[in-house]
Amino acid sequence: MTSTPASPVTSVRAAVDAELAAFTGRRRAQLLEIGPELEPVLAALEAMLTGGKRLRPAFCYWGWRGAGGGDDPGIHAAAASLELLQACALVHDDVIDNSDTRRGLPAAHKRLEALHAASGWSGSAAGFGQGAAILIGDLCLAWCEDLYQGSGLPAEALRAGRRPFDQMRTEVMAGQYLDMLEQVRDAESVEASLRVMRYKSAKYTVERPLHLGAALAGRYEELAPVYTAYGLPLGIAFQLRDDVLGVFGDPGETGKPAGDDLREGKRTLIVAETLERASAADAAEFRRHLGDPDLSAEAVAWMRGVVADSGALDACERRIDAYVGQAAAALESALIDDAARPALADLVVAATARRH
């Protein structure tokens, strides 16, 4: 009886999870020495690190392997540092969006808000939860640096990786700001949505982790253009799939209530396509509902109908297919080590598979 080969994500995940567990275990002792009151902070942080697709570490690892890197334990630690950066981004993102849940569990700020309320402390429970979550996100950002620098890879490799590592951290914060800006501007253009998608997600999720892997293996200059040709279209396709799931996804899969992106008023590309394609009357009514935190299930169903009937859903699916095709074509480059090519092809599917 033959066993099913591990996917390129699950094959990396166990090692990344082990690195994160060891690292947070060491940091847990340090924080609790400061004071036992930090236990809820640790619990919220560890909950954020549990679950998730581990896509960024997978792209980093397979970027390394595609550059000829071997199975060095240090690459797993360096790749795991990206999960701490992701945790920082998610904790802060939930505060910005005022999201109640993350991966089916209370968001970090909601956990700490509940602690305040249950403890009978003075002041605003919501304000306490938001402030504590901001600090948790900041802690994850600091620990991301610590784990990367202490990964055990040679100092020369870590210096080579510094460029994409630092670029990635800057770009995701800039992309988050652009996302906030487009919300308050009530932006409705496809171009504005694509710019946010490029910096908040595509570069951060796929391109820069690949660049980091190549740089750590000493082949950044040679492979960066190839990985960009593969990573940017794939990263945009990944975010487009996420945006589609934000409207049509199963809560059991997404970990968020149905239609949550519509309640939050996110100015995603699927929303821009809908407003561009719908009738004037439907577009006006769609705008009226968009961003209503009390949006009913019936209103969500109506808005989904407008998205589908206007052709916006099909347009997004066509875009995803086109971007996937671009990524697949880039994988034909002879510069990519053959040992990594099948895994990078599988990652295209893992990042963009339909689940609605």
pLDDT of amino acid 188: 85
Euclidean distance between CA atoms 134 and 232, whole angstroms: 29
Euclidean distance between CA atoms 19 and 241, whole angstroms: 29
Tokens of 171: 């770009």
Give, for 106, the enclosing helix (H) or strand (E): strand 105-106
Give, for 39, the enclosing helix (H) or strand (E): helix 39-49
Q: Count how many Cα atoms sit within 13 Å of the Cα of residue 57 in the half-sphere of its side chain.
A: 33
pLDDT of amino acid 353: 86
Q: Count how many Cα atoms sit within 13 Å of the Cα of residue 232 in the half-sphere of its side chain.
A: 10
Torsional sign, CA 210, 91, 239, 272? negative
Residue 274 φ/ψ, nearest 5 degrees: -65, -50
pLDDT of amino acid 103: 82
Euclidean distance between CA atoms 240 and 202, whole angstroms: 10
pLDDT of amino acid 3: 41
SS3 assignment, position 304: helix
SS3 assignment, position 105: strand
DSSP state of 138: H
Separation of CA 269 from chain center: 17
pTM comes to: 0.93
Euclidean distance between CA atoms 62 and 54, whole angstroms: 12
pLDDT digits (tens, 9 = 90+) for 59-83: 999 999 999 999 899 999 999 999 9
* Apex 204 CA angle, 201 and 207, nearest 5: 110
By C-alpha distance, which of 200, 186, 172 is closest to 267?
186
Q: Count how many Cα atoms sit within 13 Å of the Cα of residue 17 in the half-sphere of its side chain.
A: 12
- Contact assessment for residue 109 and residue 130, using Cβ atoms and an 8 Å cutoff: yes
Euclidean distance between CA atoms 26 and 93, whole angstroms: 26
- Residue 3's CB is within 10 A of a number of other CB atoms, namely 5
Alpha carbon dihedral 319, 321, 322, 323, in 10-degree steps, equals 90
pLDDT of amino acid 4: 41
Task: Name the stretches of the chain with pLDDT < 70.
Answer: 1-6, 254-255, 355-356
Please, what are the domains in the chain? 10-352 (1.10.600.10)
pLDDT of amino acid 1: 38
- Contact assessment for residue 291 and residue 265, using Cβ atoms and an 8 Å cutoff: yes
By C-alpha distance, which of 280, 278, 287, 283 is closest to 308?
278
Q: Which residue is listed with tokens 């510069």? A: 335
